[in-house]
A and B are shown apart, each in its own frame.
Chain A
């Protein structure tokens, strides 16, 4: 109960940090999804490129997040910019991979008939491939977004702000309540966004 009282007393700060956190993740995800979908589409046309890109994205994910953020400081300084860049790089793999596999796993007969009927490459992509791969792509987007929100907390380490800041302060001051509140709020955002995306995914299911 003491935690709840603590939170109510400081609701303005907490809300501000939550909004910050949300903004950072949202910006990063918009960039990440745009990039990931584009790259994912492009590599479906070239097997060698696909192999290289998927491997790079894979390696990217194995770098400890703290290290990745730190590496970006000399390039982009501290604050939001390196945090967003880090999140983008980190969340590429699930998106690129799902766009790629989603498109490549479409039944070949469907693509063949589309080609045989005389649809242009771009038409086949937008009218046939992307709609059919949509559920798989959305699964990738959801995974990436959930990852992004969690990682966003660590981005506070390089001065990005957001809920991570509250958690780090809690750790430094030995204040359990702050850690708890920060963690709960991160979880709440995660669950809400994931549910929202799941709803979108359901709406457009075949």
Chain B
């Protein structure tokens, strides 16, 4: 989708280039995080995509087209742009702000009005309430939401985001990050996201580009960056607790194990046989292969000889979803005082199980490879 080929940017002939022979490929629908210390060239890299900064040499392609040949105005109208200070126009209402690009594109009034309302709703801002407000009447978080809505207005395939959540307090920032990830699931934009916060990069990114002195130090998925930092610079950037950070990235669906089903009428002996053949210590119990009654554990089976499992089945209780992070599962386990937790993506169904051992193993495995 976006491709850099040996791109160089020099602000000054004598100085070291801000971006040095950069090669980069950003796939369609990916969030690509550019991360690194100030002056590493990440913002310059991003701004070369919409030609706010002109590359000194090298080529940048969007969808195979050399952007040098595209008129900058036309190029920018199809690329959403969000910056840290929001850059909202203070003299215009929220609706007018969001309508900026659609207006430039010559949409008709009704279409613009509907689009503005749709975006405000997407951003969790009540259109009735916010449409006619001015930016100064909004909180920092609300302004940033409007900033994102404005960038999305004409439904551009690409979004450039320059530390969009950088000026917000940690709680609002976390909330907006979660919201944005949820929205991205729906809209699937190709996003280039600049940040200096490695935790934000790990949380938001499909791919992470770690930059230093205008060069790419490492390019990879968050798990790759965490488990195999390319050098000391990257390790230092990640900081300590990389195992704990890994737990934030990995989801239940990555490590959960499937559990066999048995009928409620199964005898204890038969159930024990099933459980020993599997690699788990629990069985799910169903009625007529349809309704989920609950579970039995290996311990319960030993204590209840010569019975059918339906007699002592226990309800499932609290579950995690396949998308719950390992960190949250661990904290649920502590809260519930249990060593196992069932994973359920839908009510009345269990997809698998995660145990404390699974968690330890998941983290330890990655530890050994580093």
Contacts and interface: CB of A to CB of B under 8 A. Distances in A.
Contact of B77 (A112, A118, A127, A131): A118
Contacts, number: 66
A118 B147 CA distance: 15
Nearest to B47: A116
Interface string A152-186: 00000000000000000000000000000000000
For this complex, into which size category does the number of interface residues on chain B fall?
A: 20 to 34
Contact of B101 (A107, A118, A131, A132): A118
Contacts of A128: 89
B160 A116 contact: yes
A70 B89 CA distance: 48
A113 B47 CA distance: 11
A118 B75 contact: yes
A131 B134 CA distance: 14
A111 B84 CA distance: 13
A195 interface: no
Given A128-B89, A132-B90, A206-B90, A113 B76 contact: no
A31 B40 CA distance: 51
A118 B91 contact: no
Contacts of A123: 104
B100 interface: yes
A203 to B, nearest CB: 13
Contact of A114 (B74, B87, B90): B87
A118 B89 contact: no
Interface in B229-246: none
A interface SS class: helix
Interface string A71-88: 000000000000000000
A132 B91 contact: yes
A47 interface: no
Given A117-B101, A123-B104, A206-B134, A112 B52 contact: yes
Nearest to A130: B91
A39 B286 CA distance: 83
B104 A119 contact: yes
A115 B150 CA distance: 14
Nearest to A119: B104
B83 A109 contact: yes
Nearest to A115: B52
Contact of A112 (B72, B78, B87, B90): B87
Interface string A130-156: 011000000000000000000000000
A181 B85 CA distance: 56
B100 A110 contact: no
Interface string A23-44: 0000000000000000000000
A51 interface: no
Contacts of A115: 52, 76
B81 interface: yes
Contacts of B78: 118
B116 to A, nearest CB: 15
B280 to A, nearest CB: 53
A120 interface: yes
A123 B72 CA distance: 14
Interface string B18-47: 000000000000000000000000000000
Contacts of A118: 72-79, 101, 104
Contacts of B84: 109
Contact of A109 (B79, B85, B134, B136): B85
Nearest to B81: A116
Given A112-B52, A131-B91, A206-B90, A117 B76 contact: yes
B268 interface: no
Leading 6 A-B pairs by shortest Cβ distance: A113-B87, A118-B76, A116-B81, A109-B85, A118-B77, A109-B87
18 contacts: A107-B87, A109-B87, A110-B89, A111-B87, A112-B52, A116-B79, A116-B81, A116-B83, A116-B87, A116-B160, A118-B104, A119-B100, A127-B89, A131-B91, A132-B89, A132-B91, A206-B90, A206-B134
